[in-house]
Amino acid sequence: MKFTLQIASVGAVLSALVSQSSAYSINSKIGVNGNSLSSRSVIPNLSIPSNSNSNNHGPITQKEVLRMTTKRDTIKMPTQTPMVPWTPPGSDYAQFVDIYSAMYRDRTLMIHKFIDEEVANELISIILYMRKEDSRQDISIYFNVPGALLRPALAVYDLIQQTKESCDVETVNLGLCAGMGAFLAGSGTKGKRSAMPNSRFLLQRTGIDKVFQGQATDIVLEVRNVKAMNDRMELALSDMTGQTTERIQQDLKRDFYLGADEAVQYGLIDQVLLPAPLKRAARGQEADLGAFEGEEEQRYQNQDNEGGWGNQRPQQPPAEKKKKDDDDGPQIAKG
C-alpha cells in the first residue's frame, strides 16, 4: 500500500539535506539492494527540484539518504574480560586466555572488587593453587579495594600469614584500600609492602556484616563476637605497624585516612613506588644508534651481521679493471 504525503517544507524532516519545499513518497516496504526493509526503517524517496537561485548539486541518491537516516548504535568499549596471548610451558604455540588467568600463571593477583564471601573463597583457592605449584616462589598481590567484610577478610589474612612461612608475599596498593582492604594491604612480607604515590588507605573498625534479627540474647552474642574479631584485627594491625594497641584503638574511633607517605611513617607499608628519573644524554655527548660490538663481526640490537648496517651485506670494494694494452701496438705476452 502506497501513501503520498505533501509537506510544506522537507526541511522539517531532513533539514540537513534540503531547505526548500518538496514532496516525497513513503512506501511501507522499500527494497534496497534486493533486501526488503520493514516499515520501522522507512527511507524517504527524495527528489529535489532544480533551482537556479540555490546551489544545486544534483538529486540526492538513495544511498546518501540511507546513510543520513540510518540510526547508528553508540560505539562502546568491550565489557568482557580482555584476552591476551599466553604460551604454555613446552609449547611453541600461544593461546588466548583472559588476562587474570595469565596473571595467575605469573603468580600475580589483582584484587579490584569488594571482598565478600565469594571473592574471599576465590582468592583463597588461587593462593592455595599457587602454593601447590611452587611453595617457594614469591606471590604478588595488587589491591584496589573499596572495602571488605570482616570475616572473609580475616580468612584471607590467616592464609597470607601461613603462606609467608614458605615464600614472600608482596602487596601493592594501586589506588584505594578501604576498611579491611587496607588491613590486607599491610599484611604482606615486611620490606615488600608498597603503594603508588597517589594511593590512599582507610582504616576503620568493622561492624556486623549483615542485618541481624533475633532475640536480645542472640543479638548480644553477635555483637560480642564482632567486637572480639575487631580486637583481634587491632592486635594484628599493631603487630604489622609497630604502633601500640592504645594508639590503634584511638585512631580507629573515627575513619582514619592515610596517604602513601603517611602510611610509610605509620608502618603500614614499607615504601612508595616512585617512577625512575629519565636518563638524559650528557652535554656534548653525540647521539648514536647504539653500541656495536667487535671489529669484524658487528652486532646491533641482537641482529647478526657480517659487517654492514642492519641486514645489508657489506659493500665489497670494486674490482680493479685490467688495463688493456695499446691496440695499435703489437701484442705483448706476459709471462
Q: pLDDT digit string (tens) for 315-334?
A: 555 566 555 555 555 555 54
User: Per residue in 171-222, pLDDT tens?
Assistant: 999 999 999 999 999 999 999 999 999 999 999 988 776 777 778 888 888 8
- Domain-wise residue ranges, the chain: 2-69, 107-272
Measured between alpha carbons, how far is 51 from 306 in angstroms, rounded to an integer? 73
318 Cβ contact partners less than 8 Å away, ≥ 6 residues apart? none
**How far are the Cα atoms of 88, 94, 112, 236 from residue 83, in angstroms, in the given order?**
15, 12, 18, 38
Query: What phi, psi does 216 have (nearest 5°)?
Result: -60, -35
pTM check: above 0.75: no
For residue 52, the SS3 value is coil
Evaluate whether 60 touches 50 at the Cβ level (below 8 Å): no
CA distance 14 to 147: 52
Residue of higher predicted confidence among 226 and 59 = 226
Q: How many CA atoms are closer than 13 Å to the CA of 21, on its beta-carbon side? A: 4
CB 183 within 8 A of CB 237: yes
Specify whether domain 107-272 bears CATH 3.90.1170.50. Answer: no
Between CA 232 and CA 151 the distance in angstroms is 11
> What does the alpha-carbon distance between residue 212 and residue 217 come to, in Å, rounded to a whole number?
12
**244-257 pLDDT tens trace:** 999 999 999 899 99
